[in-house]
Amino acid sequence: MTTFVPPQQRATWQSLQASANQPMAHLRELLKEPQRAERFQLSAGHLHLDFSRQRIDTHIWSQLQALATESDVLGQAHAMARGDAINATEARAVLHMALRGANQPTPPWGQAISAQVTDVLKRMLAFADTFYNGTAKGHTGEAMTDVVTLGIGGSDLGPRMAAQALAANASPHVRVHFVSNPDAWALHSTLRGLNPATTLVVVSSKTFTTQETLTLANSARRWLLDGGVPERALGAHVAAVSAAVDKATAFGVLPENIFGFWDWVGGRYSVWSAIGLPLAMGIGSQAFREFLAGAETMDQHFLSAPVDQNMPLALALLGVWNRNFLNCPTHLISPYAWRLEKFASFIQQMDMESNGKSTRVDGEPVDTATGPIVWGGLGIDGQHAYFQLIHQGQHTVPVDFIGVTQEDTPSHGLPMAAEHHRVVLLNLNAQAHALACGRDAHDTAESLRAGGMSEADVARLTPHRQFRGNVPSNVIWMDALTPYNLGSLIALYEHKVFCQAAIWGIHAFDQWGVELGKTMAKAMESGA
């Protein structure tokens, strides 16, 4: 057992702190450096990372890589892959990589795990395809038309996000709905207009004890019965996904409609497991396998690329530089593709429920900042909502822009789709540039003067209309929003989160912070 070294005691951490204490040129100057764009780029799979607008130079970049090496981040990654119980407070392995790597001839986690994964995946995809292809039937013999998924957190956010992201792959035979909130209106607004005779309810819950989800499940079951589904035929209208198969069985779900997964799958890392059943129903087994393959490609890259070529590690190190050395308290996820509308919420749980910790792996309080506040949403909508603060407010907010280079809207759908795409990408590029370069007082005054403004007004308004810039950002490009590329993108962020936890010396895969609220709710319920 190696002795834990707090990050700030590492020589590389201290040299980074020394670098951070030195003045650095403004990004508008750094971006003039020849070869900068080429120097600060990485590719993996079909993803491309442009980090030239980060507030680093080659010296800092090499120091960050040295920190990764001294922290043995990639060594810890291999420990995860071979199934070490790195989720130490729950004494569990962390093997979401096994969910998408089951075809590997000699997987680091072993053939037994792969065999379990393969068995459930085969059964789940066969079931999913009956809905995707429109052949699944309800108790009346009519084809099933709707799938209503009940789940919350990691049992909801991944499949919900991916179903929208992969709208281009959506089945014409079935509509997939997601309900997470126990407020009656959430379920009512989904169920109204649906036909119980052609609706499947999927209860997704790793523990099958989450009160919100069970409230929804009991209410949806009542809706089916009141809607004419006979008790004896209920089994054709309810499925369950859980690591607690016994509890799903006790709820009354037929064994053939229960799809299990394992305690070594964290909820926020479970979209690849049977939790992805509703996604597979919507996009079909082939697309789901492509989704898995894209993630596996990123896994292979993560486990094999050297420190200076490793995309997840680069994202992690840049995040550590911004969080711990530039003291940025938040991190903005800003996709510029409508289909990625829910991506920020998905990453928010993944990152904040993993790294929102303040106790080190050795049980001592952390001495450094850990997980940032991760927030975001569609970039262009954000430009008309919170970008004012990012441009002229008091916080420096590092941004991950995510862009899709190809336009693939069905041409019969919208003849001007290419113009839409041009506007979207123009805004992404303009915002990244504006945040990096800003516009100083001199250039602002020149701009106002050139617009014919009087000198008095120029003097009066310049302080209000200048932009400090120097806001760091990454741009993650993908060629097309395909199942494969989405899989790679999600895995990229999963491994980024892992790397940051490894550097900070915190546990990423437990979530004790969610327990107190649940405990208090139960105590209040019992009148204690």
Gyration radius of the chain over CA positions: 25
Number of residues that bind ligand F6P (CB under 6 A): 14
> Minimal distance in Å, beta carbon 96 to ligand F6P?
13
Q: How far is the CB of 514 from ligand F6P (least distance, A)?
A: 4
Shortest distance in whole angstroms from residue 322 CB to ligand F6P = 26
Residues with Cβ < 8 Å from 301, sequence gap 6 or more? 44, 45, 310, 311, 312
Angstrom CA distances, 35 to 28, 54, 56, 169, stand at 15, 15, 14, 39
381: its two tokens: 């909508």
Paired tokens of 463:
């302080």
Q: How many CA atoms lie less than 13 Å away from 413 in the CB half-sphere? A: 8
Helix, strand, coil content of the chain in percent (nearest 5): 55, 15, 35
Q: In terms of CB distance, is 138 or 267 closer to ligand F6P? A: 267
Tell me which residues in 189-218 interact with ligand F6P (CB under 6 A).
205-207, 210, 213
Q: Looking at beta carbons only, is 47 or 265 nearer to ligand F6P?
A: 265
**Binder to ligand F6P among 426, 430, 459, 514 (CB under 6 A)?**
514
> Using CB under 6 A, which of the segments 15-23, 39-47, 151-159, 362-370 binds ligand F6P?
151-159
First to last CA, the chain: 44
Minimum CB distance to ligand F6P smaller for 207 or for 358: 207
154 touching ligand F6P, by CB under 6 A? yes
Establish if 152 lies at the interface with ligand F6P (CB under 6 A): yes
Closest to 199 measured CA to CA, from 177, 215, 218: 177
Stretch that binds ligand F6P, among 77-85, 149-157, 384-392, 488-496 (CB under 6 A): 149-157
> 3-state secondary structure string, 16-40?
HHHHHCCCCCCHHHHCCCCCHHHHC
Closest-CA residue to 202 (of 277, 284, 133, 117): 277
Instruction: State which of residues 53, 92, 221, 268 lies at the interface with ligand F6P (CB under 6 A).
Output: 268
Q: Is 482 in the site for ligand F6P (CB under 6 A)?
A: no
Choose the stretch contacting ligand F6P; rule: CB under 6 A; options: 147-155, 314-322, 400-408, 418-426: 147-155
Measured in degrees and rounded to the nearest 5, phi and psi for residue 256 equal: -70, -10
* Residue whose entry in the numeric block shows the structure tokens 């106790």: 359
Contact between 223 and 209 under an 8 Å Cβ cutoff? The reply is no
Considering the rule CB under 6 A, would residue 153 count as an interface residue with ligand F6P?
Answer: yes
Contact between 472 and ligand F6P per CB under 6 A: no
What is the closest distance, in whole angstroms, from the C-beta atom of residue 331 to ligand F6P in the complex? 20
- Identify residues 341-380 at the interface with ligand F6P (CB under 6 A): 353
Residues marked active site are found at 353, 384, 518
Closer Cβ to ligand F6P, 160 or 268, answer by number: 268
Query: Smallest gap, in angstroms, from Cβ of residue 230 to ligand F6P?
Result: 28
Which of the residues 493 through 512 are near ligand F6P (CB under 6 A)?
511
Backbone angles phi and psi of 58, in degrees to 5: -65, -35
* Helix locations, 284-327, DSSP H: 285-304, 311-320
Give contact residues for ligand F6P (rule: CB under 6 A): 152-155, 205-207, 210, 213, 267-268, 353, 511, 514
